[in-house]
Amino acid sequence: MSLQERLVSGDVRALARLMTYAENNDPEATRVIKGLYDKTGGAYVIGITGPPGAGKSTLTGKLTKALRDCGKTIGIIAVDPTSPFTGGAILGDRIRMQDLFTDPGVFIRSMGTRGHLGGLSRATQTAVRLLDIFGKDYIFIETVGVGQSEVDIVKTADTVVMVMMPGLGDDIQAIKAGIMEIGDVFAINKADLDGADRTKIEIEMMLDLNENKEWRPPISKVVAVDNFGIDDLLEKIQSHRDYLQSSGELASRRLRNTKQELVSLVSDRVMEFILKKSDKGFTVDDLVERIVSKDMDIYTAADEILSRIKE
Amino acid sequence: MDKPIRVLVAKPGLDGHDRGAKVIARAFRDAGMEVIYTGLRQTPEQIVATAIQEDVEVVAMSILSGAHNHLFPKVVSMLKEKGADDMLVVGGGVIPDDDIPALKEAGVAEIFTPGTPTSQAIQFIKQNIKR
């Protein structure tokens, strides 16, 4: 049986192997997806993001458990940072999801960022697509612990859950302008700790500033380890989904995301093409040397590269 | 860093001592590998399911409870059942020399006992993964 047939027939090994191909930039992954593209778009994609230690993995595990109790099937992609020095990574998100490992309705994949910025890995979108084709009802993407600008998740997820926790204090102020804007639903985890109400007020105040938006992100207080507030959070995610569907926002979001993905795919390929290209009498490295030795300025070099591609 | 080696570092059995597993996980990371660490007290079923979903090339297990003669071969045979016998299985921990031949016979590629430099384990993996 081909990988494509095995994927459609529910073979977990085929799914896992295709994800490896996607991560290693092996064209086999996209070749299989090309043949099954009409099967994509059925899954609902939920992004789980927030600062390190907020409880993203634990929360993802509990949300998964609750959806499993409703008979839904789940795919989870958990992204952790790759060391920029060695290329190695410790992928430890699974530690908080142990009771899901042997559930045949749950597929978990850990990924290193492998040098990609933005909070996800380059293969995340392809992995989501594979889980979608595989037939998962819901797909969770857990980002790396985010700081200020890891906002790639909005390009991939239908609903973004921003996980916060009490006691970050002024850190909330610091991240306000960046990632705070991308939450569709807020979860204040560890809400049994002091300061949960204050955190809620701070988020509310931030949201007041965006009052003109059609959707005001709701805030859920949860204690993920105790399974407290999980159903409430799921309801809020569901109401965001309902809003996206009834307002037509889901279609326009997917349109926008598809466009962004297409543009970045093409620009990746153009870059690859340029970096490989030496048959037309120049290499990027040659130009770089000329720039550094002040033989040419960097802007002219960029023009040069573009004009030669057009030839 | 095109194709990093993916390794599952797992702690089967009931002992709660994962210092060794963490040290080895860190050493593997520093050697450029992607290490999936799953935490303590994993059943063979959990280890095998994780190895398959993560599509690892190596399953490295650490055990200090003395249950290695049962748990290591169990993982090897379950991987085989699932068609994943191309994965390299290695073990470490407090394992008497007398037990090692039988474990190797059962399909564990190598056993690393206390005092083994991490570099030796790394070298063994690099030389023996099936690519």
Cα distance between residue A128 and residue A103, in whole Å: 19
Which has the closest alpha carbon to B17: B61, B68, B70, B64? B64
Query: Do residues A205 and A173 make contact, with C-beta atoms less than 8 angstroms apart?
Result: no
CB atoms within 10 A of CB B102: 12
Structural element, H or E, at residue A95: none
> Which letter does DSSP use for residue A192 in this model?
T
Q: Which of A79, A93, A98, A272 to mutate to test the interface with B (most CBs of B within 10 A)?
A: A98
Name residue A258's amino acid. Answer: T
Q: Is B129 on the interface with A (CB under 8 A)?
A: no
Spell out the domains of chain B, with CATH numbers in brackets.
6-128 (3.40.50.280)
pLDDT, position A281: 61
Structural element, H or E, at residue A156: none
For A54-66, the DSSP string reads S-HHHHHHHHHHH
> Residues 6 or more apart from A153 whose CB is under 8 A from it?
A47, A49, A119, A120, A141, A143, A160, A182
| Residue extents of the structural domains in chain A | 1-37, 40-247, 260-310
Q: A15 to chain B: nearest residue by CA?
A: B53
CA distance A109 to chain B (A): 6
Helix (H, G, I), strand (E, B) or coil at B40: coil
CB atoms within 10 A of CB A98: 17
Tokens of A106: 């749950």
CA distance B105 to chain A (A): 26
Helix (H, G, I), strand (E, B) or coil at A48: strand
Q: Is B126 on the interface with A (CB under 8 A)?
A: no
Tokens of A266: 């093409």
pLDDT, position A173: 59
Angle between helices A298-310 and A249-276 (to 10 degrees): 100
Cβ within 8 Å, pair B38-A82: no
User: Domain A40-247: which CATH class?
Assistant: alpha beta
How many beta-carbon pairs below 8 A join chains A and B?
Answer: 89
pLDDT, position B1: 43
Q: Is B115 on the interface with A (CB under 8 A)?
A: no
ipTM, interface predicted TM-score of the complex: 0.92
Please tell me which of the candidates B30, B46, B55 has its beta carbon nearest to residue A86: B30
Partners of residue B4 in chain A, C-beta under 8 Å:
87-89, 112, 114
Query: Do residues A154 and A184 make contact, with C-beta atoms less than 8 angstroms apart?
Result: no
Q: A107 to chain B: nearest residue by CA?
A: B53
Cβ within 8 Å, pair B34-A25: no
Cα distance between residue A181 and residue A155, in whole Å: 13
Cβ within 8 Å, pair A86-B52: no
pLDDT tens-digit profile, chain B (131 residues): 469 999 999 999 888 888 889 999 999 999 999 999 988 899 999 999 999 999 999 999 999 888 999 999 999 999 999 999 899 999 999 999 999 999 999 999 999 999 899 999 999 999 999 87
pLDDT, position A279: 56
Cα distance between residue A110 and residue A90, in whole Å: 10
**pLDDT under 50: residue ranges of chain A:** 174
Q: Tokens 């099967």 map to which residue?
A: A39
A88 Ramachandran zone, left/alpha/beta (phi>0; psi -120 to 50): beta
Q: What is the pTM of this model?
A: 0.91
Tokens of B17: 């001592």
For B68-131, the DSSP string reads HHHHHHHHHHHHHHTT-TTSEEEEEES--GGGHHHHHHTT--EEE-TT--HHHHHHHHHHHS--
Q: Across chain B, how many H-helices and E-strands are there?
A: 5, 5
Q: Is A73 on the interface with B (CB under 8 A)?
A: no
> Which letter does DSSP use for residue A153 in this model?
G
